[in-house]
Chains A and B, each alone.
Chain A
Amino acid sequence: MSHHLVEVNELRYTYPDGTQALAGVDFRITHGEAVAIVGANGAGKSTLLQHLNGYLWPSSGQVRVGDYALTKQNLQDARRSVGMVFQDPDDQLFMPTVREDVAFGPLNLGLSEEDALQRVTTALRQVGALHLQDRPPHRLSSGEKRAVAIATVLAMSPDVLVLDEPSTGLDPKSRRQLIDWLAGYRHTKIIASHDLDLVLDLCQRTIVLSAGKVLADGPTREVFQDQKLLEQSRLERPLRLQGCPVCSLASS
């Protein structure tokens, strides 16, 4: 019954040019979890995400969404239940107006226009972007684009929300709004990010990828305290977990 489950077994993927991007990845994410996937550039994050809704097919291994292994037959179903928010909202918002863009998914699911528009309203209201519905995407700010991109996915009522670098290009205020919103979203979340402070705010669990393998998988705070692990995977302890140089200087 639980669609909210994502499981990856022994996942390997080699690009046609011979680069091995995933070299045996395993994890299981259950209902309601918020999991971060972190790692250096080229560690395999994007490749991994592209497997989760069947855009790439594993060279070997398996992806399970809900209770079923992902196959070409249940692909459409998996794509509905795993909602993917892309790194660049300009890739995701391709229709002429916000309304049509958000309606794109529901209409593809076969909903009537009336029901689809109902979902558009609900999804846009959820992300606080209802007032943008008549605007063309190219006239939105980065923060607005991000919110609408999330709404396009919410309108499909996914069971799992996958976000790729959600805070890129946002000003601090928009970033904070995004974090607050995501914190309030109760379904399963998978977030790939370099923004470790955001990860610290949102995810109880963190998976560290390095060279196509899972280097660590555990509670976020523990992972971020492990200096050796962080260095090995070209990461840095989140600012909030570092001592503040200004305050400590002032006090000494």
Chain B
Amino acid sequence: MAGTESRLFDITFLDMLACQESPVHRLDARAKVLTTFIFVVVVASFDKYAVVSLLPLFLFPLVLVVQARLPYGFLGKRLLLVAPFALMVGAFNPLLDQQTQLLLGTFAVTGGWLSFLSILLRFTLTVGMALVLIAVTSFPGICNAIDKLGAPRVFALQLLFLYRYIFVLGEEARRMVRARSLRSFHGRGNGLKVYGALLTQLLWRTIERAQRVHKAMLSRGFVGTVPLLQMKRFTWQDGAFVGLWCGFFIAVRILSGSAELQVWVAELLK
């Protein structure tokens, strides 16, 4: 769980990245959402001891990061911040699974270490890719994409509204926290009682805001449905992006299972 104010900063920063111009940014959001999803499923489908065979998949996020000129430092820091849970759980693997799975010369590698490494790689790939996706596709773009890909309109709208008001309410929360800390001394004022009052205050404002937004919608002819604009047409470049990358993922996946590759990898490691 990241710190309080940094969350708002992260959203703002990623939102800014998503507004940049690059060939990746210009691709259709549907293409990027679809490809990312297939990517994640392919990563997850690898054997629990897969380490080396996962490595080629790093090509996808790396190419996107380079093409879209995303800042490595920021993405890396984000990854480290969210790592603990997967690491904590994975860290038991070396203790629990001590069967030898691989011999590197005379050095025996246990299954536990292999699967732990595998968890690390999976984590980096999947979580990293989620961040890359949002950094190269605006969140509204993603919402539009899932709407067009068949998600219920109510849900797509929910996401859009939520996103829109994160910034507004986030600012309000920030001001409240600041106001509290300016008048809290020696830890007094940070207790549950004040916290509850603060939260409820924010909730009142939120509900009043919702009423005003509803009013604004009504005054512009809202009768229960919210129209979303058509997306740009899905071009052959978008199709090629989906096709080529997914082909690559699947090829890596299939090759990883083949005996020749295993042997080759084992040779390489010796």
Query: Which A residues contact B (CB, under 8 angstroms)?
Result: 50, 53, 55, 76, 79-80, 82-84, 86, 88, 90-97, 99-100, 103-105, 107-109, 113, 117, 136-139, 152-153, 156
Contacts and interface: CB of A to CB of B under 8 A. Distances in A.
A94 B221 contact: no
A79 B212 CA distance: 15
A55 B140 contact: no
Contact of A108 (B138, B160, B215, B227): B227
Contacts, number: 85
A50 B209 CA distance: 15
Contacts of B216: 84, 86, 91-92, 94
B228 A153 contact: no
B254 interface: no
Interface of B: 15, 19, 138-140, 143, 160-161, 163-165, 167-168, 209, 212-213, 215-223, 226-230
Given A94-B213, A103-B229, A55 B160 contact: no
A79 B219 contact: yes
Contacts of B160: 95-96
A152 B220 contact: yes
Given A94-B161, A95-B160, A96-B143, A108 B220 contact: yes
30 contacts: A50-B215, A55-B215, A55-B219, A76-B221, A76-B223, A79-B220, A80-B221, A91-B209, A91-B213, A93-B164, A94-B165, A94-B213, A94-B216, A94-B217, A96-B140, A96-B143, A96-B163, A96-B164, A99-B229, A104-B217, A104-B227, A107-B227, A108-B220, A108-B223, A108-B227, A113-B229, A136-B138, A136-B140, A139-B15, A156-B221
A92 B223 CA distance: 16
B117 to A, nearest CB: 40
Contact of B221 (A88, A99, A109, A139): A109
Contacts of A95: 160, 164, 226
Contacts of B219: 53, 55, 79, 82-84
Given A79-B221, A136-B19, 18 more contacts: A83-B219, A84-B216, A88-B212, A92-B216, A94-B161, A94-B216, A95-B160, A96-B140, A96-B143, A96-B160, A105-B220, A108-B227, A113-B229, A136-B140, A136-B164, A139-B19, A152-B220, A153-B220
A118 to B, nearest CB: 13
A53 to B, nearest CB: 5
Contacts of A88: 212
Contacts of A84: 216, 219
A53 B219 CA distance: 7
